[in-house]
Amino acid sequence: MAPILEISDLVVRFGSKTALDGISFSAEPGQIIGFIGPDGAGKTTLLRTMASLILPDSGQARMLGHNICTDLDALRCQIGYMPQQCGLYEDLTVQENLDLYSDLHGVPSHRRKAIQEKILTSTALAPFVQRFTGKLSGGMKQKLGVACCLLASPKVLILDEPTVGVDPVSRRDLWQIILATVREEGTTVFLASTYLDEVMRCDQAIILNQGKILFNDSPDKITERVKGRVFLLPATAGKLARDSMIELSRDKEISHVGIDCGSLRVITGRPDTFCPAYPQAKACPPLFADAFMDIWAENVSPPQLIQMGEDSGGKREEVVVRVEGLQKKFGEFTAVEDTTFEVKRGEIFGLLGGNGAGKTTIFRMLCGLLRASSGSITIAGHDLLKSPGKTRARLGYMAQKFSLYTQLSVIQNLRFFGRAYNLGGKKLTAKIERALIEFNLDQHRDDAAGLLPAGHRQRLAMASASLHNPDILFLDEPTSGTDPLARREFWLRISSFAQKGMTVIVTTHYMEEAEFCDKILIMAKGKILAMGTPKEIRKHALSAENPNPSIEDAFIQLVEEGDQ
């Protein structure tokens, strides 16, 4: 069978920057090809070039037997392309978006109703056809984006990070749609992802870095490189798993260490010396994620593991955030209902929930940006309603969109946020210089924030939010859309903050990140479904069929039980 795509020595430049540097590969029809790599690796540029939205500077590329540079009209009617931001019109309803894209794709009027009904059923969007797209949850928007791509029954589907920013249930639903499209229609799917477990589902995995292909093979073949080198190690008695992880990360014979269901998942280059040094370690089957992190340890220097921030002082058993009976209504709609929890100094507290669960609403109330309808909030001993000024001075807040001034440089953003937190003079200058070094931003100090890769913008946003050494740091989906390497670096930094006594409250859709938390609260539709340590949360999915459940298993089960 002839390849559906053949690319040879593809080069794409933007001015003096080479985005794709001699890319060559082919793909078979009816398969799923996954692209993964760090921010700026060239994934989006490659997908846009394959969709004939960017013309290469040199090289050859043929899709479905057509030249992607010269046969644009013949190709575009056979390709469905979904960009990172879905490409939807938020002031149109679901039905109006479907009608618009049916027109754009030339779907015949006599077939339109049947095609739309089938897609609405498969994406579970049928009950929401008259809802404005801007009012949909993140997961529903992503489903609608995929639905609009499928209207013309394309032979090729190109998806740029289709599951970014959606909860595990919506992510599972999106993958069911993708797999059904491949199985029933024979569609070939090219997708970029920030989830390593998603690339593991693909037939072909392509790992990119700096515009070049590092590896191109089946996920199973790539995974074989770490066979016999992956071990599970119990966390040190009396220590948090994240603290033990930081210690092991300094071992030069360990290429990667992460947290896996409360234990440490270790990849070593020297099993012969590692096993005698850690006799309690048990060998375990490798995953694609293990191979990816091992590849990166070979190709990229690890982040600096330095002690971040200043010691916050205070007693570790001190409750610094107390929420009692919190409720928020918008008219007749209850966004948050009767929520109570407390967080101690130096803890990392995770808020998990589906899109629209109420997490961001709680965040905005805790930061004093949104007034509660009822209930009380005490921050660092101050009643938020009675002393908002004193309370806010003790907080740092990193919003979902990072809240940076994109036209200002890195150092100008830091100066602005420092002054907003009443820092100035030599003290501000010293803190900025320290932040530039601690967050590895010194070489980018004069670069515009809007031109930084996503991982660097994330670092700058965190540096800005923590510049005044707050008692409590609020992070609202801070790793959404960033690559696995940036997420790992982020959590090493956050763990270091917590070691110094800073309290961190964080929301995330990456369930493996919840393992770094001391406590987790899982929400749905504004209500608490469960709260406890990661170990206690995992027990909700414990069964004879699943004796070692993950937090994602527990999350999906709790949300589905809540919907019944």
The pLDDT tens digits along the chain (564 residues) read 789 999 999 999 999 989 999 999 999 999 999 999 988 899 999 999 999 999 999 999 999 999 998 888 888 889 999 988 778 899 999 999 999 999 988 888 888 999 999 889 888 888 899 999 988 877 788 889 999 998 988 999 999 999 887 888 888 888 999 999 999 889 999 999 989 999 999 999 999 999 999 999 999 999 999 999 999 998 777 778 888 888 888 888 888 899 998 899 999 988 888 888 888 999 999 999 999 999 988 876 555 544 545 555 556 678 999 999 999 999 888 999 999 999 999 999 999 988 778 888 998 899 888 999 999 999 988 888 887 777 777 888 888 666 788 899 999 999 999 998 888 999 999 999 999 988 888 889 999 998 887 778 888 998 999 898 899 999 988 887 778 888 888 888 888 889 889 999 998 888 888 999 999 999 988 999 999 999 999 999 999 899 889 999 999 999 888 776
d(CA 288, CA 57): 33
SS3 (DSSP) at 57? coil
Instruction: Identify the pLDDT of residue 302.
Output: 55
Q: How far is CA 461 from CA 224, 406, 431, in A?
A: 37, 11, 15
The radius of gyration computed from the CA coordinates of the chain, to the nearest angstrom, equals 24
CA distance 483 to 226: 21
pLDDT at 305: 47
Domain residue ranges in the chain: 5-217, 223-298
Query: Regarding the domain delimited by 5-217, which CATH topology (the fold level of the hierarchy) does it fall under?
Result: Rossmann fold (3.40.50)
Count of beta carbons in the 10 Å neighbourhood of residue 334: 16
If 0-12 CB within 10 Å is exposed, 13-18 middle and 19+ buried, where does residue 419 land?
A: exposed
Residue 166 is classified by DSSP as -
pTM: 0.87
Q: Whole-angstrom Cα distance, residue 417 to residue 408? A: 12
Amino acid in position 375: G
Q: Can you give the pLDDT at residue 402? A: 61
Instruction: Give 93's DSSP letter.
Output: B
Tell me what pLDDT residue 312 has. 53
63 bridge partner residues = 5, 66
Query: CA angle at residue 323 from 320 to 328, to 5 degrees?
Result: 140
Partners of 160 in beta bridges = 192
Question: In the prediction, which pLDDT does 384 show?
Answer: 87
Q: What is the pLDDT of residue 418?
A: 92
Distance CA 110, CA 115 (A): 10
Residue carrying the six token digits 């005044």: 468
User: 209, 202, 191, 188: which is closest to 23 by C-alpha?
Assistant: 209
